[in-house]
């Protein structure tokens, strides 16, 4: 690696989850840890926020810890954008995660190797740690492939991509929508859902999430994601009273597994559209209207 790859860990008011992910990171011992923490919204929340920070800022392994902490609450989207801006001021790449991501210990080596290998490849803009349907890809000869799905449940990316990210996504107003989706999806339900979310977040002064904007950005610049053939990250923050959006059970839960090294790189990078269509059906089943309100809060593409 040309540089040590930092972890950008975003936490808030869940010390138990913060402790769990710090235990996961201790197995890997990343050399640089950025702690991105928004401020408490009220006095009652302050105790939990303070405890979560204490845990994250005091890792059990030797590493450089860089805090990006708020004295007041600015909201998840602004904290995400400005927090990663802060990290990318010093680094060319990073690995992002939130406190409710449960990771395979192999995620760091996998991410670092592919960040270096594909750093100049403009076609690749995002590295997933989540595989929504690992049973479909277990028989692949290589350990990763290209996909249209950009999961924020643990991902790695480069400054060259981040500098194109705009939370307001103004380009959505003028794109040819048929041409825009053609290289990515043919599933009408998932396209319909994306259009609804892109319409909602375009020029939204108070967005409730950051991932649809990231998805749009990756597609707008014509990029694809690397997805591992095994699942290396899952979200354990569902079905909690303190969940921001994920109140129901995780519909895309898969156990995490370890990658076997050395990585078996594909001879030719191929966009696996069959995988993409299968995942699209999982995310947007035929009876969309009946469940779309339930899914709205926790779909991550």
> Which tens digits make up the pLDDT trace of 242-281?
555 555 566 778 899 999 999 999 999 999 999 998 898 8
What's the average model confidence in pLDDT over 40-63?
97
Rounded Cα–Cα distance for residues 225 and 253 (Å): 20
What's the average model confidence in pLDDT over 18-38?
98
- Return the closest-CA partner of residue 240 out of 6, 14, 9: 14
pLDDT of 82 higher than 80: yes
pLDDT of residue 118: 97
- Give the helix/strand (H/E) hosting 111: helix 107-117
Half-sphere exposure of 157 (CA within 13 A, CB side): 32
The long-range contacts involving 288-291, CB below 8 angstroms and separated by at least 24 positions, are: 288/189, 288/192, 288/193
pLDDT of 1 higher than 50: no
pLDDT of 165 higher than 80: yes
86 against 44, higher pLDDT: 86
Asked if residues 230 and 142 have their Cβ atoms less than 8 Å apart, the reply is no
pLDDT of residue 79: 97
Q: Would you place residue 286 in the very low, low, confident or very high pLDDT band (cuts 50, 70, 90)?
A: very low
Q: Would you place residue 215 in the very low, low, confident or very high pLDDT band (cuts 50, 70, 90)?
A: very high
Domains of the chain by residue range: 1-99, 104-301
Asked if residues 84 and 155 have their Cβ atoms less than 8 Å apart, the reply is no
Q: How large is the C-alpha radius of gyration of the chain?
A: 18
What's the average model confidence in pLDDT over 47-54?
97
pLDDT of 301 higher than 50: no
What's the average model confidence in pLDDT over 169-195?
93
pLDDT of 76 higher than 90: yes
Average of per-residue pLDDT values in the chain: 90
pLDDT of 152 higher than 50: yes
pLDDT of 136 higher than 90: no
pLDDT of residue 139: 83
pLDDT of 114 higher than 50: yes
Q: Given the DSSP bridges, would you call strands 7-11 and 224-228 parallel, antiparallel or unpaired? A: unpaired
- Does CATH place domain 1-99 in 2.60.40? no
């Amino acid at each position: 690696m040309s540089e040590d790859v930092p972890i950008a860990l975003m936490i808030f008011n869940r010390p138990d989850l913060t402790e769990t992910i710090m235990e996961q990171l201790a197995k890997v011992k990343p050399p640089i840890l950025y702690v991105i923490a928004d401020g408490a919204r009220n006095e009652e929340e302050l105790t939990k926020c303070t405890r979560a920070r204490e845990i994250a800022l005091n890792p059990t392994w030797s590493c450089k810890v860089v805090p990006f902490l708020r004295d007041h609450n600015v909201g998840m989207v602004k904290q995400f954008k400005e927090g990663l801006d802060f990290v990318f001021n010093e680094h060319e790449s990073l690995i992002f995660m939130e406190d409710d991501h449960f990771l395979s210990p192999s995620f760091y080596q996998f991410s670092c190797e592919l960040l270096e290998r594909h750093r100049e490849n403009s076609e690749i803009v995002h590295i997933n740690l989540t595989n929504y349907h690992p049973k479909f890809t277990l028989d692949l000869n290589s350990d990763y492939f290209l996909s249209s799905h950009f999961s924020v449940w643990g991902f790695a990316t480069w400054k060259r991509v981040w500098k194109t990210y705009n939370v307001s996504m103004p380009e959505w107003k003028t794109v040819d929508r048929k041409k825009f989706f053609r290289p990515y999806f043919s599933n009408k339900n998932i396209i319909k859902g994306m259009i609804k979310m892109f319409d909602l977040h375009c020029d939204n002064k108070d967005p409730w999430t950051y991932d649809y904007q990231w998805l749009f950005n990756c597609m707008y610049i014509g990029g694809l994601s690397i997805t591992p053939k095994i699942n290396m990250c899952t979200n354990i923050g569902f079905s909690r009273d303190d969940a921001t959006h994920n109140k129901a059970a995780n519909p895309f839960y898969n156990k995490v597994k370890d990658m076997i090294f050395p990585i078996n790189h594909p001879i030719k990078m191929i966009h696996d559209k069959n995988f993409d269509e299968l995942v699209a059906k999982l995310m947007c089943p035929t009876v969309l209207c009946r469940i779309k309100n339930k899914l709205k809060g926790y779909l991550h593409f």
